[in-house]
Structure 1
Amino acid sequence: MTKTDSTSPSLVDEEKGESPAPVTETSAPQMPSFPEGGARAWGVVLGSMIINGCSFGYATAFGVYQAYYQEHQLSHKNPSDIAWIGSIQFFFMFAGGFVSGSLFDRYGARVVMIPGTIGYVLALMFTSLCKEYWQFILAQGVFGGICNGLIFSPALAAVGHYFQKKRGAAMGLVAVGSSVGGVIFPIVLQKAFYGKVGFGWGVRAVAFAMLGLLSIACVLVVERLPPRRGRFFAPEAFRQRSYVLLLSGIFLVFWGVLLIYFFISEYAIEKIHMGTELAFYLLSITNAASLVGRVFFGALGDKAGFLSLFSLVALLNTILVFCWTATKTNAGLIVWGIVFGFTSGGVFSLFPAGIASITPKPQFIGTYMGQGMIFFAVAGLTGSPIGGAIIDKYGYLDGSMFGGASLLVGFLLIVAARFSHQPQWSVKA
């Protein structure tokens, strides 16, 4: 048996309250069997896919809100100020996982997801009535983000209860949901905002659709493993070197990737002079390409190893973001958006699979993933406003340098996490 990640602790026996011990060849916890399929397992995948579309997918459509707010309700604000609304939403969506992941491990999915669904729909209703900047911050950013977090993290963790050998493929399918949401919602919102429906009823219509979709998801997503007991969090996870390196790498990768999703439409309008409607469709085109990437890289991760493949995906995104502003025509930016969408899709399918792959016990997948979400929360909160401020002061070229540099360092950290978890290159990791 090959020794891996010798510095990582095994999790404590929660019922006995024992101290964590290092994982060795003899003390590594034995993994239980996984169904790897069946109606219930694939139902969980479908429900998680729906949740991803309604939470993460909808959040990545913020570029439509960004452009609309700049022209209407918040025309007196600069792009960096407006970007804080979406960034705060991302922050609380991921930060909510810090609590909801542990709640899932202890009490199951529905106890967390049903209140989250109700609150999320209310947050959308409140957003439809907003007029002032602080109102958008509270309704769309804070309240919407918190409720997003209550449904997002448990949906990802539940899939880990049913799949191990096919976990990458399953996570890839789940990630398709956020891509589908990222394709559909920008089109729906753009048509509503600039058509006869208008902003208010456009957002309310989306809220009613969310209520129906998330109700179905709450029925489908169920846990398989018995609830764990003991401490609410697992602080010993942060003594696991591969875990900390991976989370740090994902943090910086998110900085670079989310910058593009927030500002690609604005770049198209301001620098390429692309028509407003086509610029909004560009975001949907990018998300459509991301759909393919999520499935492809998720399934490939089962064969190549999640951390190894994640390293490659981070490197590809680094190169693309550095080249972002080299596109000077509509056709060039559309092609670039398709390629970037495909490679960034790998980020969204591989990061949860990567975390699950280095979690010592499946009963702790929700906790490990939830604790990791606080890293991504800070990335979502700070990355786009920092990038937006750089773009405001220095231009899009410097913004792309910021995003590319973030991705480059993130790539190096993920490589370090891979070799910390499994030092031998010949062994899949």
Structure 2
Amino acid sequence: MMTSLCKEYYQFVLAQGVVGGIGIGMSIAPALAATGQYFRKNRAAAMGIAIAGSSLGGVIFPIMLAKMLPNPRLLFGWTIRICGFMMLVIMGVSCAVIKARLPPRKEKLFLPGAFKEVPYVTLIAASFTMLLGIFIPPFYLPTFAIANGMSPTLAPYLISIYNATSLFGRVIPGVLADKFGRFNVYFAAAVSSAILGFCWQRVTSNAAVIVFAAIYGFCSGAIVSMMSVCLTLVPKDPKNIGTYLGMGLAAASIAALIGTPISGAILSHENFNRVSDFSGSVSLAGALGIILAKYTTGKGLISKF
């Protein structure tokens, strides 16, 4: 709602960036933590379904904005307010029905001792490295597509395509992870995203860019859901799932903040080929970090964990 009133750049940063970011973080982490407390055997599938809602929103909102913004009776202000009213209703229902299975821990707000656990720190480091790269392609896909001849009216729909397949990428790998191992599926998703990151620079035609957006959305969507699931496997006490998840996501999310500006700096001096190389390289480094994190758990590299 405050974004709809913004006129200056700093106002957008404060309303949409700072306050919006805090609100999203305070919504996602408790919801995922509560979901994780109800499941053990099928936890990856349950959390994948829970986090898939963000992909559904990523499909709907870009299309809504594209249709409403040109409307002279709505323009920017009322277009954003309509989105705000939708969020108010949907989030109101969510807040009313979400309930933790276990009572909250009362003695400490944070658990700094968690950062002394090698599997936890290693997993956060791997996720941090991966998040440096996986959000770069969707961030620049419309610009990249237009630079390669795609119509400016078609290019914005690439984000909706990306988010549509990301929905399935968060659910299907979650189901597979419960059968074949959460770390194993996390690693497979990371390697796939890394390979696609390197291939991005060779994708130039309209059809190829659309297919790339769809496949990359599926693979990177699996990373988002599997990262949360793997973080919930570390704490021995289920009551600590929310704290471990929140601290881990907070630390790793810094990479999502700085990854695209780094790629923007690269693009200002080089070209999309170097941005593609950077995205693929850090994603691959993150994939290798997942192997190390799994090894430190003591479950064995070839186990279904």
TM-score range, shorter chain: over 0.9
Amino acid at match of 1:346: A
Task: Give the Å deviation of 1:209.
Answer: 0.6
User: Does the Cα contact within 8 Å between 2:294 and 2:301 map onto a contact in 1?
Assistant: no
Amino acid at match of 1:335: V
Alignment match, 2:136: 259
Task: Give the Å deviation of 1:261.
Answer: 2.1
Amino acid at match of 2:278: F
Q: Structure 1: how far apart are the matches of 2:154 and 2:299?
A: 47
Amino acid at match of 1:167: R
Task: Give the Å deviation of 1:424.
Answer: 2.0
Task: Give the Å deviation of 1:229.
Answer: 2.3
Kindly provide the CA deviation profile for residues 23-79 of structure 1, in whole angstroms up to 9, marking residues without a partner as x: xxxxxxxxxxxxxxxxxxxxxxxxxxxxxxxxxxxxxxxxxxxxxxxxxxxxxxxxx
1:175 to 51, 60, 74: 51
With the length of structure 2 as denominator, give the TM-score of the two structures: 0.96
Alignment match, 1:393: 269
Alignment match, 2:75: 198
Task: Give the Å deviation of 1:193.
Answer: 2.0
Within-5 A mapping of 1:30-429: 125-196=1-72, 197-269=74-146, 271-429=147-305
Kindly provide the CA deviation profile for residues 117-138 of structure 1, in whole angstroms up to 9, marking residues without a partner as x: xxxxxxxx11111121111111
Q: Structure 2: how far apart are the matches of 1:246 and 1:308?
A: 13
Amino acid at match of 2:118: R
SS of 1:274's equivalent in the other structure is: coil
Kindly provide the CA deviation profile for residues 343-400 of structure 1, in whole angstroms up to 9, marking residues without a partner as x: 1111121111111112211100010011112222311221111111211221111111
Q: Structure 1: how far apart are the matches of 2:26 and 2:60?
A: 23
Kindly provide the CA deviation profile for residues 165-192 of structure 1, in whole angstroms up to 9, marking residues without a partner as x: 0101101111210110111111111212
Q: Structure 2: how far apart are the matches of 1:380 and 1:424?
A: 30
Kindly provide the CA deviation profile for residues 266-294 of structure 1, in whole angstroms up to 9, marking residues without a partner as x: 1111x222112211111101111111111
Aligned CA-pair RMSD: 1.2
Alignment match, 1:54: none
Q: Structure 2: how far apart are the matches of 1:130 and 1:394?
A: 34
SS of 1:279's equivalent in the other structure is: coil
Kindly provide the CA deviation profile for residues 145-169 of structure 1, in whole angstroms up to 9, marking residues without a partner as x: 1122221210110101101101011
Q: Structure 1: how far apart are the matches of 2:104 and 2:15?
A: 33
Q: Structure 2: how far apart are the matches of 1:426 and 1:132?
A: 54
Q: Which runs of 5+ in 2 are unaligned?
A: none
Task: Give the Å deviation of 1:312.
Answer: 1.2
Q: Structure 2: how far apart are the matches of 1:192 and 1:389?
A: 33
Q: Structure 2: how far apart are the matches of 1:277 and 1:159?
A: 39
Q: Structure 1: how far apart are the matches of 2:245 and 2:297?
A: 17
Task: Give the Å deviation of 1:263.
Answer: 1.2
Q: Structure 1: how far apart are the matches of 2:45 and 2:131?
A: 22
Amino acid at match of 2:121: V
Q: Structure 1: how far apart are the matches of 2:251 and 2:263?
A: 18
- Structure 1 segments (4+ residues) deviating >3 Å: none
Q: Structure 1: how far apart are the matches of 2:14 and 2:239?
A: 34
Q: Structure 2: how far apart are the matches of 1:267 and 1:360?
A: 45
Moved more, 187-196 or 158-167: 187-196
Q: Which has the larger radius of gyration?
A: 1
Task: Give the Å deviation of 1:423.
Answer: 4.5
Q: Structure 1: how far apart are the matches of 2:125 and 2:192?
A: 18
Alignment length (residue pairs): 304
Q: Structure 2: how far apart are the matches of 1:363 and 1:423?
A: 22
Amino acid at match of 1:282: L
- Determine what percentage of the aligned residue pairs are the same residue: 42
User: Does the Cα contact within 8 Å between 2:294 and 2:300 map onto a contact in 1?
Assistant: no
Amino acid at match of 2:134: V
Q: Structure 2: how far apart are the matches of 1:392 and 1:145?
A: 27
Amino acid at match of 2:111: A
User: Does the Cα contact within 8 Å between 2:37 and 2:100 map onto a contact in 1?
Assistant: yes
